[in-house]
Amino acid sequence: MIVKTRFAPSPTGYLHIGSVRTALYAWLFAKSNQGKFVLRIEDTDVQRSTDYFVSEIVDNLMWLGLNWDEGPYFQREKLKYYKNIINEMIESGLAYKCYCSADRLLNLRKMQMLSGKKPKYDRKCRNRIGLDIFNTNKYVVRFANPSFGYVSFHDMIRGKISVKNEELDDLIIQRTNGVPTYNFCVVIDDRDMNITHVIRGEDHISNTPRQINIFRALGAKIPIYAHVSMILSDDKSKLSKRNKDITSVSEYRSQGYLPEALLNYIVRLGWSYGNQEIFSISEMIQLFSLESIKKSCSFLNEKKLLWLNRFYIKNLSKEVVKKYLKNQFERNNINIINKLDLCKLIELVGIRCNTLQEIVDCSRYFYEESVIFNEKAASKYLTLSSKFILKIVYKKFLDINSWNLLEIRSVFDTLISDLKTDFKTIAMIIRVAITGNIISPSIFTILYYIGKNISVLRIKFALTYIEQKSDRNICSFY
């Protein structure tokens, strides 16, 4: 048997990490068994499904490296095919048309709940098969679920699950608008695509017995199921694909997380291998098993994710991180052409940062013409008393013919000697003037890589800033 798994998202919201974990587990199981992984877009909900979310899902899966062997397939392209099968099921008695109004169904539900019964359709229209030829009212199509017996299946994570057929509804497989429903389409697709293992969230457990009965009615082979537990936010709330919050892959990506870190983090939200924390993709494939997945819920831990991201920034090859960092600068509309090489930047500041966005934010001064001063830093170091030092630095930098580390250091040595001051005092004033902040790599390194022209311009800008601030203070005094 060739193992075949699938990831079947509906394009009605953003791809969040709960969905990614499902995709990752299905992908790993297929790869670890030399099988195939299928991407299927379940877009029969035409009102909420959008091409935007399709692109968002596909793009983020590719970014994560969860490439598929088949697909993407789209259910909307097969609506006529589904409806033909439903018509055949009606003719053979496996399904029937239901003309019950919404009011009747609502009243039925109220009466059942008042009497303490489980709400479900009473099958009024099930015995009308063949008597509705001249009925022009709107109808849905219901599956004629077995009335007796059990549906039992072995869940690879949860063990044996058994449900009485009498507890199951005659579920709707085609809406009044003629569009087939999820529970029907998923069975047809899993059958036609020869899906051997269905790995999905525990919220689908209630659907599984219904789908198994449809498989049986069609004489199709039933897949093996594995239902993974939910991932909850740190406040114990469910993740939502409707909001582009921090749980969406797009948001993690924009924040500057690496796909390697995200996958390493996500794989352990329910699965483990001893006390091992760091897993390469090849190790995941080699070690992964469905039996090692825990049944209890998992909770997000942003500190752990940040730690992992910093680990990968430090330990992946600089060329790999450079590729991701280049995209991050592009996201921020910062031009890096003919500026400090990103591999060098990673070497200078990467070790201090948890995310790519942090690297961008703390290194803008290497790539942008001007700087924005941190208000607190500027109020302490860009003052009238520092104006004299900056004027001397400005003149001495202009006089440097060969811009190199030795010449830059000599300017500092001269200032320290002539002004009878210390290195820290001079370095902090120049650091704020050049970078806008008090934290940075070596001031010599910064000046060298920024270059003479921009260094001189920024010192001149800092002098102008001091003068303007002084004028504002005088005006406020009067």
Do 322 and 184 fall within a single domain? no
Number of CB atoms found within 10 A of residue 445's CB:
14
Which among 208, 232, 256 is the end of a domain? 232
Backbone phi, psi, residue 36, to 5°: -125, 150
In a domain, 264, yes or no: no
In a domain, 146, yes or no: yes
Do 42 and 86 fall within a single domain? yes
Q: Which amino acid is at 347?
A: E
Report how far residue 170's alpha carbon sits from residue 159's, in angstroms, rounded to the nearest whole number.
26
For 392-443, the pLDDT digits (tens) are 999 999 999 999 999 999 999 999 999 999 999 999 999 999 999 999 999 9
Residue 389: which CATH number?
Answer: 1.10.10.350
Do 56 and 138 fall within a single domain? yes
Do 14 and 62 fall within a single domain? yes
Report how far residue 317's alpha carbon sits from residue 345's, in angstroms, rounded to the nearest whole number.
13
Does 240 score more than 70 pLDDT? no
Does 218 score more than 60 pLDDT? yes
The per-residue pLDDT for 336 is 95
Which among 334, 359, 384 is the end of a domain? 359
For 248-295, the pLDDT digits (tens) are 999 999 999 999 999 999 999 999 999 999 999 999 999 999 999 999
In a domain, 312, yes or no: no
Rounded to 10°, the helix 423-435/405-419 angle is 130
Give how far the C-alpha of residue 293 lies from the chain's centroid of Cα atoms, to the nearest Å: 21
Do 211 and 95 fall within a single domain? yes
Identify whether the C-beta of residue 7 lies closer than 8 Å to the C-beta of residue 69.
no
Q: pLDDT band for 475, please (50, 70, 90 cuts).
A: very low
Do 217 and 343 fall within a single domain? no
In a domain, 249, yes or no: no
Give how far the C-alpha of residue 325 lies from the chain's centroid of Cα atoms, to the nearest Å: 18
In a domain, 368, yes or no: no
Helix (H, G, I), strand (E, B) or coil at 227: strand
Distant-in-sequence, close-in-space partners of 469: CB < 8 Å, separation ≥ 6: 382
Q: Which amino acid is at 383?
A: T
Which among 195, 217, 232 is the end of a domain? 232
Do 223 and 141 fall within a single domain? yes
The per-residue pLDDT for 476 is 45
For 369-396, the pLDDT digits (tens) are 889 999 999 999 999 999 999 999 999 9
**Token pair for residue 449?**
């890589």
Mean pLDDT of 76-103: 95
Q: Which amino acid is at 159?
A: G
The per-residue pLDDT for 478 is 38
Do 346 and 437 fall within a single domain? no
Residue 71: which CATH number?
Answer: 3.40.50.620
The per-residue pLDDT for 134 is 52
The per-residue pLDDT for 449 is 95
In a domain, 472, yes or no: yes
Q: pLDDT band for 159, please (50, 70, 90 cuts).
A: very high
> What rounded mean pLDDT belongs to the chain?
92
Query: 204: domain range?
Result: 4-232
Please say whether the dihedral angle defined by the alpha carbons of residues 356, 360, 363 and 367, taken in this order, is positive or negative.
Answer: positive
In a domain, 243, yes or no: no
The per-residue pLDDT for 473 is 56
Does 173 score more than 90 pLDDT? yes
Domains of the chain: total? 3
In a domain, 139, yes or no: yes
The per-residue pLDDT for 1 is 82
Do 223 and 82 fall within a single domain? yes
For 326-355, the pLDDT digits (tens) are 999 999 999 999 999 999 999 999 988 999
Do 49 and 117 fall within a single domain? yes
Q: pLDDT band for 233, please (50, 70, 90 cuts).
A: confident
Do 401 and 341 fall within a single domain? no
Does 49 score more than 90 pLDDT? no
Question: CA 204, 239, 261 angle in degrees (round to 5)?
Answer: 105
Do 191 and 221 fall within a single domain? yes
**Token pair for residue 336?**
């890096």
